[in-house]
Amino acid sequence: MNQYLDERLTRLKTELGDHTRIARHLGLDFERPIQSLGDGYPENAISWVGKITERLLKQLWRHHNVNGDPGSKSLGELIRGCRPYLRGPSVLDALGDIQRLRNRSAHDGYQVAEEDALMSVRRLLEVLVWFTNTGSEALTGAAPRLAPTVAQRAEFLSGLYLTMGYRLTKRFELSAHTVYQLFCREVGVRSEYVELLLTGDIAELQQVLGATGGELLETRLPKMTRFLVLEDGQETDVTEVLGRDDYRVVTFDEFLATIIDIDRHLAEIETAHPRLPTDRGQLRAISGDLLRTDGRTGEIRHEEVGDTSALLEDFASTSANVLVVGRPGSGKSSLLKQLVTSSSVASTRRHRFFFDLRLKGREEDATEFVTRTLASCMRVERGRVFDVFHYLIRSGSVLCALDGIDEAVPENTLEGFLALFAELAQVLSAESAVVMSSRVSFLEDSPHVRQLLDSRALVSERLVQQLHTRGVDPLRLPKFSALRLHDVTGEAGQQGSPLEFRLAIDQSQAPASGPRLEELVSAYVEQTVQVAGIADPARLVAVLGRGFLFGQSTFTLLELCNELGMDVFEGSRLEFEAFRLRKLFYPVDATSVALQHSVFQEFFAAAYLRDRQARDALAESDQGVVLTEQVRAFLHHATLRSDSVGRDDCVLEPGTHLVGPSHHLLLRRVAKPVRFDLHPVTVGRYKQFLAAVAEHGSADWDHPDKPSDYTHDPWYARLQHPDYYENPMYDDHPAICVNWWSAYAFARFEGKRLPTALEWEAAARGDDGRLFPWGDEVDLDAVNCADGWSGRPLVTYEAWKDDIDRGGLRNAMPTSVHDHGRNRSPIGVRGMAGNVWEWTATVFDDLNEAAICGGSYDNPYRAVQTWSKGLFRRRGSSNAVGFRCVEDLP
C-alpha cells in the first residue's frame, strides 16, 4: 500500500473513531471498510459501507414509523422511504453516491478503483456526521446532555453548515447550556474553518473555560471565522470570557443574519407591487370566504372571515398552508407582503420569504428562480442558495409567500398547473407555512383547487413520478385551505377592489359601485402615456403587449430605450428616476423594471391583440402565447369603447379568434368565410326535409358512414311534448331529438353544412372573445337557461343539482327561436347561448361522438357561455340538442 493511501486511511480511521458511540449502539464495525481497502479490496470496502448505511437507515425508518418492514428493503428503497426525514441536500447527495458506488462495485462490467472506495467512506462520514447531530438519543444511543433549546439550535446550525458544504470536525458539549462546534470545508487547495461557541448561560461558559484554561478552543487553524453565539439579552466583555478578542459576539438571530439577511430581503420586497402614487381614503378590512379541510372527517367546510389579514397571521404561526384567490386587484399581493413583513409573524417565523412568481421566466426552473430572487440576501455561494433555502424550509422556520402562481404556469391547463406544482413540491411538502395567491379565474372552484385541498386526489401518474423524483411522497403533501377575497366597501358603501379604489382616487373620481377595473386601468394608463409625451404609443403597445403574450414581465432600461427612443428618458439619463413612464413601473433591480401591476401589462397585451395582422402572426407562432381572462376582458372593453357596431349579415370572416374557457384561452385561425343561419333549424324547416326524404329518399344527402338502419325521423318517443312535430305552435321552435347523422343530411339537403366547433365559437364570440353573444354582462332575460325556469340564480353545481332533484326544472323546455332578442352575436347570429345545444361538424371518430356548443335550457347560466362545449354520441337524440347550418362563401 502506498504511503499516500496509508495516510488517507489513517485520517479516515481517526474520523470514523469519532462515531464509536453509534457503532456500539447499533453493533456496527467501522474498521471493516478501512481494513478491506488496506488489503487491496476496494469493492469489499464499498460493500461494507453499503451495509453500514443500510443499518443507519433502518434505524431511522423504525424511529419515524415509516410504513412497511425495513428488514427486506434495498438501499434504494430505504433512501426513498427515509427521504422526508433527511434534511439538507448534502446528506441526500452522500447517500446517492454510496448507492451508485455500491451498484457499480456489484456489476461485473465495472472496474472499481481505490478512489471509489475512499469516496464511499468519505460519503459515509458525511452521513454519520448528520446522524450524530440529529439530537435524538433513540437514534444514536447518546444520553441527552444539552438543554433542549441549546440542542435544537446546535442541530440547526450543524445542518445549515453541512448544507453549505462544510463537515463537522469537532463537537464538544461543554455543559448543559454550552456546545462547541468546528466546521471545515475544502475550497480548491485551501481549507476553510468556522468555529462556533453556542451558549445559553454566559456564567456557566466562564466556569467551563476557566476550569480548562480554554484549551478546548482551536487557536492555530488557518482561515478561521470565530463566533460566540449568545442568548438574547446577554451582555459581556468577550476578552474577559475567552481571553482574546478575535471572536464576534452575537445573539443567535444576529448570527443567522450573517448568513441570511432577512431584513434586506424584506426591504427589497417593499418595492414590489408598490402602491399607486395616491392612496387616500379609508377602506375597511378585506373579508373573504374560507374553505378548509376538517382534519378528522376530511370534509371541506366553509366559513366567512371578517379580517383576512388577521386570519393569515394565524395560519403563519402554525404549519398550516393556504391558497388566497381573488380577482385582479383584490389585494392578494398586498396581503402577502403585509404578512411577511408583520412583526407579529416574525416572533414565530424567523425567516420570511416573498416570491413574485410573475417575474419567473417561462423557461426558468423554479430552483433557479428562487436562487435569483434570494442571491442578494444570502451570503453563500450562488450554487448553494436554493440548498440553504430548502434546508430552512425543512427546518420549519420559514413563512414562504408565493405570489401569483397562476402567472408562472407554463400553460393554463391542468397539466400545466401540475407541472408547476411538481416543481414547487419541495416547498409545498415542507413543515413550514406556505401561503400562495392566484386569480379567481384560473383556480377558484376548479379541479386544480380541489386537488390542492385534498392530497388524496393526486392521481396523475406523471405528477406522482415527478414528486418521487424530487424525493417527495405524494401522500405526505400538506392539505391547503383556500381563502377567497371579497371586494372592499368604501365610506359611501360602494363596492370594488382595492386597486379600483386606488385608481379612482388617483384620477379624482368617486368610485362607483361595482367592478370598473377595465375602465379605470384604461384611463390611468392612457393618461400616464399622454402626460409622458410618448410620440409613438403603438410602439409602446408592441413592446409591452407582445412581451406579456410571450411571457416577458421585466424589461431593462436599455431595452426600453432602444425600442422607444431616448426621448422616453428625461435629460437623456438612462435611470429609473428619469423614466417618463415610471408611474406605471417599479424597479426590479438597478437596470430592470416591471409594471406595477399585471393588469397594466395585460391592458397593453389586449391593445396589441386588436391588430389583426399581429393576431394572425401570434396564431402562427411556434411559441406558446400567454392569454389570461383579464386580457380578454380588456379586449372586450376596448371593442365596446370603439365606434364599431355589430353586423347583421351573419358572415364569419377569415381571421384569428380568441377561443376557449377563461383558464385556457387560445388563438385559433378561421381560414375561409362562412355565412351562418340566422336561427337554429326550426321544426317547420325540418318537416320540409322529412317530406323530401319521404318522397325521394335521403341517399343524396346522407353521410357515407351513416348506419343503414337509421332513419331521419326525430326520436318521437323521447320528446318531452309528444305533439312537438305535429302542433303548428312549435314550428318556430328548434328541431330537437335529431341525431348527428340527420343534422348532417339536413344541411346537405339545404346545400349547406354543419359548422365546425371553432367556427361556431368564433361566430358567437366575435373579435373580442366575449363571454356571451351580447357581451360580458350577466343578463338572465337574454337567454333561455335553467336559472330562468328555477326562479333563482344557480351559482354552483350543487344548487343546480338540488333544483333538478326537487323538480324545479320539470317544466323547462326549448322556446321559440325568435324569443330573447338580445341573444345576438356580433355578426348578427341569434340564439347562440342557451335554448338548445347545437351539433357541429367537429367529430371524434374513435369515440363516435361529436362536439356540441352553446348550452341549453336545462343548463345553469354559467354553463351557457360562448365557449361552452360538450361531447354527445352521434346516434344520440335529446330534447336539449338541436343544430344550425352554415354555407361556404367564395
- Four-CA torsion 117, 119, 122, 126, nearest 10 degrees: -120
Q: Is the pLDDT of residue 539 over 70?
A: yes
76-80, 305-309, 383-387, 393-397: the lowest-pLDDT one: 393-397
846 or 652, which is more confident = 652
Residues 6+ apart with CB under 8 A from 190: 222, 223
Q: Which of 619, 634, 869 is nearest to 770 (CA)?
A: 634
Q: Is the pLDDT of residue 385 over 70?
A: yes
CA distance linking residue 822 with residue 820, whole number of Å: 6
Helix (H, G, I), strand (E, B) or coil at 134: coil
- Residue 356 and residue 588: Cα distance in Å, rounded? 11
3-state helix, strand, coil in the chain (%, to 5): 45, 15, 40
The predicted model gives 295-322 an average pLDDT of: 79
Distance CA 767, CA 864 (A): 19
* Burial group, residue 296, by CB count within 10 angstroms (0-12, 13-18, 19+): exposed
**Pairing of β 190-199 and β 351-356:** unpaired
Report the CATH fold assignment for 145-259.
Answer: Trna Endonuclease; Chain: A, domain 1 (3.40.1350)
- Banded model confidence at residue 452, pLDDT cuts 50, 70, 90: very low
Q: For all residues of the chain together, what is the average pLDDT?
A: 83
Q: Is the model more confident about 402 or about 1?
A: 402
**Domain limits of the chain?**
1-141, 145-259, 263-275+285-483, 499-639, 674-888
Distance (Å, rounded) from C-alpha 397 to C-alpha 160? Answer: 12
pLDDT of residue 31: 86
CA 477 to chain centre: 15
Alpha carbon 495 to its chain's center: 29
pLDDT tens digits along 10-25: 878 888 877 877 777 7
Higher-pLDDT residue of 594 and 440 is 594
- Per-residue confidence (pLDDT) for residue 456, from 0 to 100: 40
Tell whether the model's pLDDT for residue 110 goes beyond 90: no
Buried b (16+ CB within 10 A) or exposed e, 19-34: beebbebbebebebbb
Instruction: Tell whether the model's pLDDT for residue 89 goes beyond 80.
Output: no
**pLDDT at residue 401, rounded to an integer:** 92
Distance CA 251, CA 229 (A): 5
Q: Domain 1-141: which topology?
A: Four Helix Bundle (Hemerythrin (Met), subunit A) (1.20.120)
**pLDDT at 469 (0 to 100):** 56
b/e sequence 183-197, b meaning 16+ C-beta within 10 Å = bbbeeeeeebbbbbb
Stretch (H or E) spanning 685: helix 683-696
pLDDT (tens digit, 9 = 90+) per residue, 272-289?
A: 655 555 444 444 689 988
**163-177, 680-694, 838-852: segment of lowest average pLDDT:** 163-177
Smallest Cα–Cα separation from 630: which of 356, 488, 439? 439
* Residues whose CB falls within 8 Å of the CB of residue 375, separated by 6 or more in sequence, listed in order: 382, 385
Q: What percent of the chain has pLDDT over 70?
A: 83
Instruction: Supply the pLDDT for residue 21.
Output: 74
Average pLDDT over residues 44-72: 86
Listing DSSP states for 383-399 in one string gives: GGHHHHHHHHHHHT-EE
| The model's pTM | 0.74
Predicted local distance difference test score (pLDDT) of residue 106:
77
CA terminus-to-terminus distance, the chain = 90
Same fold, 1-141 and 674-888: no
Higher-confidence position of 802 and 183: 183
User: Read out DSSP for 582-632?
Assistant: GGGEEESSSSEEEESSHHHHHHHHHHHHTSHHHHHHHHH-SSPP---HHHH
Q: Is it the case that residue 4 has pLDDT exceeding 70?
A: no
| Inter-CA distances, 251 with 199, 261, 599, Å | 10, 14, 44
May I ask the CATH architecture of the domain 674-888?
A: Alpha-Beta Complex (3.90)
Residue 562 binned pLDDT confidence (cut-offs 50, 70, 90): very high
pLDDT bracket for residue 450 (50, 70, 90):
very low
What is the C-alpha to C-alpha distance for residues 147 and 200, in angstroms, rounded to an integer? 9
Q: 757 falls in which pLDDT band (50, 70, 90)?
A: very high
- What is the average per-residue pLDDT within 736-748? 97
Q: What is the mean pLDDT of residues 688-709?
A: 93
The C-alpha cell 500500500 sits at 1
- CATH for the stretch 263-275+285-483: 3.40.50
pLDDT tens string 775-834: 998 888 999 998 888 887 776 666 777 778 788 788 899 999 999 999 999 999 999 999
More reliable by pLDDT, 57 or 680: 680
Grid coordinates representing 502 are: 386606488
pLDDT, residue 686, reads 97
